[in-house]
A and B are shown apart, each in its own frame.
Chain A
Amino acid sequence: MITHFYDVIIQTVCRLLIPFIQVYGLYVIAHGHSSPGGGFQGGVILGASFILLCLSHDLQEMRKRLTRRTILIFCSLGVTIYAGIGFVCLLLGGNYLDYGRLHRILPVDSVAARSLGIFGIEVGVGITVMAVMVSIFLDLASEEKVREG
Chain B
Amino acid sequence: MKWIALIAVCLTGGLLIYGTVDMPNWGDPTSPASLHVSPRYIEKTVEETGVPNMVTSVLADYRGYDTLGETTVIFTAGMACLLLLRRFGK
List residues of chain A with CB under 8 Å of any chain B CB: 32-40, 72, 75-76, 78-79, 82-83, 86, 96-97, 99, 111-112, 114-115, 117-118, 121-122, 124-125, 128-129, 131-132, 135-136, 139-140, 143-144, 146-149
Interface Cβ pair total, 8 Å cutoff = 102
How many whole Å from A1's CB to the nearest CB in chain B? 13
Q: Is B38 an interface residue (CB 8 A)?
A: no
Known A-B contacts A86-B68, A121-B67, A125-B67; the reply to A132 vs B77 at CB < 8 A is yes
List residues of chain B with CB under 8 Å of any chain A CB: 47-53, 55-57, 59-61, 64-65, 67-68, 70-72, 74-75, 77-79, 81-82, 84-89
Interface of A is mostly: helix
| Bound CA span A131–B61, Å | 23
Residues of chain B within 8 A (CB-CB) of A99 are 61
Name 17 interchain pairs, CB-CB below 8 A, sorted by A: A34-B51, A38-B56, A38-B60, A78-B75, A79-B71, A86-B64, A96-B65, A97-B68, A111-B48, A117-B61, A118-B60, A121-B60, A122-B60, A125-B71, A135-B82, A139-B84, A140-B81
| Bound CA span A149–B88, Å | 6
| Bound CA span A114–B71, Å | 19
| Bound CA span A147–B87, Å | 7
| Bound CA span A79–B78, Å | 12
Q: Which of A75, A97, A128, A131 contacts B64 (CB 8 A)?
A: A97
Contact B49 A38 (CB under 8 A): no
6 A-B pairs with least C-beta separation:
A132-B78, A115-B50, A118-B60, A147-B89, A139-B85, A139-B81
How many whole Å from A79's CB to the nearest CB in chain B? 5
How many whole Å from B52's CB to the nearest CB in chain A? 5
Q: Which of A118, A124, A131, A139 contacts B56 (CB 8 A)?
A: A118
By beta carbon, the residue of chain A nearest B80 is A136
Residues of chain A within 8 A (CB-CB) of B88 are 147, 149
